Chain A
């Protein structure tokens, strides 16, 4: 049927009474020659009714799509062959991949592709292969309507390391769609700022831009490494983390002007360039969203479309700046937690004192001040009395209590907490000192008890420290 009929023509009933030819004319010539019977006609020839295995045509695919079999030295096949990467399922490694390699060496004396990437098998949440008969496969078109093609692309890649099974979960596509929205909202935020040429660039923005560029370069490098190893999900996760955490949660917060205030031109221009670089590394994964934003940023000619833009170049990275900022992030998170725990509104300015036991990059102080709404950061030599405290690295940070909280109440609360935890610790330790329990309980249960003990001890330690600094 739909298949290549075998070019063998039978002229007799015997097993070997056949010739092979590209068409009936050639076959007829060969039949006459082989039999010595010149009176054979085309009517005496009967073509084998069988067809060739489909793989017998697809094993030539990397060559035949460039007409490399019929015209072995044509310009196209010489240019495009060997191809670069083949992406396929491991199930057809023998049927197809191996045979393309065989055909490549037989007909071009060269490999058909340099890399073969074996994808995982898409399975449902229960680990079953998706199939029509099981009815456990979502309709891809419907998925794209729901989450957008970009959302589904991200969803597919989120959890599929090469060659492993991919347990598909629709919530991954939802995560992809949320990512689209996050990027969209970040873009709208930047685009919504009023720009003023008369404002000077704040120090916080300066260092923020410097840091983000470094962070971007670091990510760019790790994306390349991931691609070299064909770890495509890993590459996507790097982009995801950069855009969601570093860009949206940190960078934009650092450069954000005060409420209803304009932004300075310099920061704005840099922010747009940074966004453009983000879009370039995002484009392979989310081509539609990135192209859409790209054209909202500025009017572009077809030559300037994102799809044909120039990929960001590598630059030398100052790792120290990135490390320094990691500590800044920790400081900020700690203070945010304290605000949350103690119900201190963000509008309420706090003071921050630091005992600098390990060297701190003070360029970021302005950033910390901005992100935690601190009036100033003062460097001190001793622990501050009546203050909430935490440690980052070996440095100690103090937030004096001032009027923000009621010291009496706080002490009462902490004392209560201390009492509870000490009681809890006692009961756990009692259990653990019971030999019968320790000898007979399953290992896991004992491990749990030991963990409870350690946690309680740590908690008590912290509460005691807080109490000390308050009194």
Chain B
């Protein structure tokens, strides 16, 4: 036998991978031997191999090859997932290069392009894993959008819905009115800028007394559903439980108490607009307040805007300020420097917007999953991760399982006014 003086990995590696594939060593079927199974953390179907994958899959291949040598029926199931948001962004970018705007396409047309993309670029990462030597059972390759896996997902949704664990709820999303899309928190850039802070007084029902609030967005007054004060604030103690009249729309809303309000900040009175502010929404939930959304998707005012209907939020802001001044209830206007969320892509100011979502109730589901990790039925390596796992599971929040398609997000105005 002629043994080369130098070891040449590139030739040798392709040769042996082919040999292993040809002889079907990676394939596993149930037999009398003890199984040793790993499922791959599915990478994104359109992704390419990065160093994190290299580390992760080297370790998995070491484990599976060792198990194979030690006589186990070793089975490493490979596959990919569709991680919709990332894939979608790539398809949109590709279409843009071809001069096609996503708005010009129907859902089905867009899906067609998305699938073309997936088929063209999908699986590159799996081929790259072969270069690394990954001894996956390729006959078992799965994709989260395969028919049987999709069926599993829908079946699970129905089951959890029947069990009463899936429900419809409302959540604040970051709305980019220019791109008409929801953004993840990571896509929102907070920038410092100077705006005006408007002090407006609201009259108490059946009284000549007023309370003064401060806001940078007077147009949202039309969506107010409460005024909130701190329970320890002696100045307003006598007003709690009474109603105030929201200016312009003359809506009667209650004065409520909540620890969230900072006695020292502003006037100590907070207007609550659950549809347009994250914190207001939480206060609104605690006090079961009405939610009134005053904006259209393009950030113009809807029917709740009354005679300002159709105006852009920025125009409406000025006009409303003027109207409030004319009514004699604008106490003062001060400059304020604060942080404002803007879209990473369009630079537009983000509009916090409430939207209907699907949630999975997690508390009961999480119980066994917490116990079996804490008692080491499932072992974490290194074990230090048990701590953060417990923290999360003990304070688990319901899972928002729905995602919006950013060319097809229809925010109908939400009217959740109590009977």
Partners in one complex: yes
Q: Which residues of A contact B (CB under 8 A)?
A: 1-4, 6-8, 13, 15-16, 18, 20-22, 48-54, 56-58, 60-67, 69-70, 75-76, 79-81, 83-90, 92-94, 96-99, 101-107, 111, 113-122, 130, 137-138, 140-141, 144-145, 147-153, 156-157, 160, 162-163, 166, 168, 177, 180-181, 184, 187-188, 191, 227, 229-230, 232, 280, 283-285, 287-289, 291-292, 296, 302, 305, 307-311
Q: Which residues of A contact B150 (CB under 8 A)?
A: 4, 57
Asked if A54 contacts B405 (CB within 8 A), the reply is: no
Tell yes or no: B393 within 8 A of A by CB. Answer: yes
Quick one: which of A56, A153, A160 contacts B401, CB cutoff 8 A?
A56
Q: Across the interface, do B38 and A84 meet the contact criterion of CB distance under 8 Å?
A: yes
- Cα separation A346 to B276 with both chains bound (whole Å): 86
Q: Residues of B at under 8 Å CB distance from A? A: 1, 3, 5-7, 9-10, 12-13, 16-17, 19-20, 23, 25, 30, 35-39, 41-42, 49-56, 58-63, 65-71, 75, 77, 79, 81-85, 87-88, 91, 107, 110-111, 114-115, 118, 128, 131-133, 135, 140, 142, 144-145, 148-158, 161, 168, 356-358, 360, 362, 365-366, 368-369, 372-373, 377-382, 384-385, 388-389, 392-393, 399-405, 408-410, 412, 416
A3 touches B403 (CB 8 A): yes
What are 24 A-to-B residue pairs whose CB atoms are below 8 Å?
A2-B145, A3-B405, A15-B416, A52-B402, A53-B401, A57-B82, A62-B39, A83-B39, A88-B41, A93-B389, A101-B373, A117-B59, A122-B55, A140-B50, A140-B53, A144-B13, A148-B10, A181-B6, A181-B7, A184-B6, A283-B69, A305-B20, A308-B25, A309-B69
Number of A-B contacts (CB under 8 A): 358
5 interchain residue pairs of minimum CB distance: A148-B9, A69-B152, A79-B30, A230-B381, A3-B84
Instruction: Give the most central of B49, B53, B84: most A CB within 10 Å.
Output: B84
Query: Is there an interface contact between A50 and B403, defined as CB atoms closer than 8 Å?
Result: yes
Query: A140 to B9, Cβ gap below 8 A?
Result: no
**CA of A291 to CA of B115 in the docked complex: distance in angstroms?**
39
Nearest B residue to A307 via CB reads B25
- Please state if B56 and A102 are interface contacts (CB–CB under 8 Å): no
Residues of the B chain whose Cβ atoms lie less than 8 Å from the Cβ of A118: 380-382, 385
Collect the chain B residues with CB atoms within 8 Å of residue A80's CB.
30, 35, 37, 75
Bound Cα distance A137, B37 (Å):
31
Interchain CA distance A168-B55 in the complex, whole Å: 10
Q: B366 and A287: CB pair below 8 A?
A: no
Q: Which residues of chain B have C-beta atoms less than 8 A from A147's C-beta? A: 9
In-complex Cβ contact of B71 among A69, A90, A311 (8 A)? A311
Contact A2 B380 (CB under 8 A): no
Residues of chain A contacted by B36 (CB below 8 angstroms): 84
C-alpha spacing A21/B154, complex, angstroms: 9
Expressed in whole angstroms, the minimum distance between the Cβ of A10 and any Cβ of chain B is 10
In contact, A93 and B385 (Cβ under 8 angstroms): yes
Knowing A2-B87, A130-B52, the reply to whether A22 touches B158 (Cβ < 8 A) is yes
| List of B residues within 8 angstroms of A168 by Cβ | 51
Complex CA gap A280/B377 in Å reads 31
How far apart are the CA atoms of A90 and B56 in the complex, in Å? 11
Contact A86 B135 (CB under 8 A): no
> What residues of A have a CB within 8 angstroms of the CB of B368 in the complex?
102, 105
Give the one of B35, B65, B392, B403 with max A CB within 10 A: B403
Q: Which residues of the partner chain A approach B1 to less than 8 Å between Cβ atoms? A: 191, 296
Task: Give the docked Cα–Cα distance between A6 and B3 (Å).
Answer: 61
B83 interface neighbour in A54, A86, A120, A160, Cβ under 8 Å = A54
A114, B379: Cβ atoms closer than 8 Å? yes
Q: State the CA gap A431–B53 with chains docked (Å).
A: 57
Contact among A1, A83, A87, A101 with B56 in the assembled complex (CB-CB below 8 Å): A87
Contact A56 B42 (CB under 8 A): no
Bound Cα distance A53, B132 (Å): 30
Report the minimal beta-carbon distance from A62 to chain B, rounded to whole angstroms. 5
Question: Which B residues are in CB contact (< 8 Å) with A20?
Answer: 157-158, 161
A1 touches B114 (CB 8 A): yes
Are A49 and B12 CB-contacts (below 8 A) given A22-B158, A309-B69?
no
Let me know if A284 and B61 touch, CB within 8 A: yes
Q: How far in angstroms is the closest Cβ of chain B from A12?
A: 12
A140 engages B372 (CB within 8 Å): no
Pairwise interchain contact B356-A15, C-beta atoms closer than 8 A: yes
Taking a contact as CB atoms closer than 8 A, the residue among A49, A137, A156 that contacts B408 in the complex is A49
Q: A1-B88, A4-B153, A79-B30 are in contact. Are A229 and B77 (CB under 8 A)?
A: no
The answer to whether A87 and B60 touch (CB under 8 A), given A6-B402, A60-B156, A148-B10, is yes
Besides the known contacts A6-B402, A86-B39, A140-B50, 19 further A-B residue pairs in the complex with CB atoms under 8 A apart: A15-B356, A22-B158, A64-B142, A75-B30, A79-B35, A90-B385, A105-B369, A111-B377, A113-B39, A130-B51, A140-B49, A145-B10, A152-B132, A156-B58, A181-B6, A288-B12, A291-B16, A291-B20, A302-B23
Contact B155 A22 (CB under 8 A): yes
Q: Determine the distance from Cα of A16 to Cα of B356 in the docked complex, in whole angstroms.
A: 11
Question: In the docked arrangement, what's the CA distance between A148 and B9, Å?
Answer: 5
